[in-house]
Amino acid sequence: MVQEPVREARTVMSESDIQRVLTRIAHEILEANRGVEDLILLGIPRRGVPLANRLAQKLAEIEPEYVVQERTGQLDITLYRDDLARAESRIPATTMIPPAGVDNTVVVLVDDVLYSGRTIRAALDALADIGRPRTVRLAVLVDRGHRQLPLRADYVGKNLPTASTERVMVQLAEIDGADADYTSDQVQIVDVMD
């Protein structure tokens, strides 16, 4: 076997960068929505869920009438994926919808990385089976391009031009904190060329 020189992972967002953009996105959401009325955040597992929770905390700090527990949930898309036959079947994650439901609300879907757009397509299908929101918006930490569907994000933490041979790795304490190689929240780009 030929030893490939291992390329250093490049850190493109630090923990403070992530905090900063989440604060900005929170403000952008409030501005676009003119407040928190009818607003619901749904994180897409896995890393969209802690991001949605962090955004919800920030919303609540700015607008105390936003009650995190009643306005935040998670939306699993595993059973709506269009590439099921090509990947190993995964145990679906839990879908948790706020008790009042999503009908006539403004749902902001939250995910970590926007790439082909297929995850969001699946999320829209999953959401449609649960109820009928008035508006659906999309917030992502990173948009790395390479869209395969006509979709775009409403709120973007960072636009990150990438090659398709690269992988964007997001580390968040809530998900990755227990891993041995976790040091702090960050976004990295890793070369995955074989």
Partner 1 sequence: MRHLLATRNLSYDNAMAILDTAQEMATVSDRSIKKLPTLRGQTVVNLFFEDSTRTRTSFEAAAKRLSADVLNFAVKTSSVSKGESLKDTVQTLEAIGGDAIVMRHWASGAAQQLANFGWSSSAVINAGDGTHEHPTQALLDAFTLRDRIHGQHASGKDLEGLHIVVVGDILHSRVARSNVWLLHTLGAKVTLSGPPTLMPVGVTTWPVEINYDLDALLAEQPDAIMMLRVQAERMSGDFFPSAAEYTRGWGLTNDRYKRIEGCNTLIMHPGPMNRGLEISAAAADSAQNTALEQVANGVSVRMAVLYLLLAGQPGQ
Residue ranges that bind partner 1, judged by CB under 8 A: 76, 79-80, 84-95, 125, 129-130
35 or 92: CB nearest partner 1: 92
Residues 6+ apart with CB under 8 A from 11: 186, 187, 188
Sign of the dihedral defined by the CA atoms of residues 125, 154, 97, 19, in that order: positive
Cα 115 vs. chain centroid, distance in angstroms? 11
15 or 125: CB nearest partner 1: 125
Least distance (Å) between residue 104 CB and partner 1: 15
Report DSSP state, residue 148.
S
4 or 88: CB nearest partner 1: 88
2 or 85: CB nearest partner 1: 85
Cα 50 vs. chain centroid, distance in angstroms? 9
Least distance (Å) between residue 91 CB and partner 1: 5
Least distance (Å) between residue 5 CB and partner 1: 29
Instruction: Please give the Cα distance from 184 to 104 (Å, whole number).
Output: 38
